[in-house]
Amino acid sequence: MNDTGLTVMLLLAYLIGATPTSYLAGKLGRGIDLREHGSKNLGATNVYRVLGWRYAVPVALIDMAKGIVPVAILGPWSNGPGWFMVALGLAAVLGHMYSPYVRFKGGKGVATAAGMFLALAPLAIVLSMLVWTATLWLSGYVSVASLAAAVPFPLWVRLTVPRQPYTLCASVILALLIVYAHRANIRRLRDGTENRFRTRKGVTV
C-alpha cells in the first residue's frame, strides 16, 4: 500500500478509536450526557457509576475492540512497514482520548490501549490485568488500579515480546499518556476526594 493508503488507514484507525461509546450509551440508554454526571469522564467506569454494569460491560468490550480492530485487521490488510501496526493502535487510542465527536474530550484510553496490546503482546496484557484486578480489589480505586497497571507495563512488554522494539516504544508512550490522562485523579487522590469504584452513584432523569 502506498503512502496515501497508509495515511487513510491511520485516519480510519483514529476514527474507529474516536467512536464515543460511553457518550452513546448515556444518550441511548438514559437520554443523558455522561459528561454532566458522575466523574464526567467518558469511560466505562463512569458508565458503571451512572448507568450500572449492564451498560458498562458492553462499553468496556467495545472500547477494547476499538484497539484490537485497527491492529488485527487494518494492520495486515495495509501491508505496511514493521512499525505500522503499532502506529494504527496508537492512532486508535488517541482517537478514544481525543475524540472529535465529543469536542476532543474522550476517555482515558485504558481499555482501548488494552485492546491494542491484546493484539500485539497478549501475555503482557494478562500480567497487567492481574495487577489491575489485585490493585482494584485492595484499594477500591479504578484510577489507582489503572496507574498500577500502566506504569510497569513496558517491563511486561520487554519481558514477553523482547524482539518487538516498536511495541516496546509504544508501551512507553501509552504508559505516559495514561498517567497524564489521570492527572486529575492523582490530584484527587492526594486531596482525599477521589471516588471509590465500589460506591455507585445513580442519576435521576
Whether the per-residue pLDDT at 203 is higher than 70: the answer is no
Whether the per-residue pLDDT at 202 is higher than 70: the answer is no
8 Å CB contact between 8 and 182: no
pLDDT digits (tens, 9 = 90+) for 5-42: 899 999 999 999 999 999 999 999 899 999 999 888 89
Whether the per-residue pLDDT at 198 is higher than 70: the answer is no
Q: What angle do CA 152, 111, 45 make, to 5 degrees?
A: 105
pLDDT of residue 105: 86
Give the model's confidence band at 201: pLDDT under 50 very low, under 70 low, under 90 confident, else very high: very low
- What residue spans define the domains of the chain? 3-191
Residue 95, amino acid: G
Residue 78: exposed, middle, or buried by beta-carbon count in 10 A (0-12, 13-18, 19+)? buried
Question: Considering the chain, what percentage of its residues have pLDDT values greater than 70?
Answer: 96
pLDDT digits (tens, 9 = 90+) for 116-145: 999 999 999 999 999 999 999 999 999 999
Choice among 6-10, 67-71, 75-79, 194-198 with the minimum mean pLDDT = 194-198
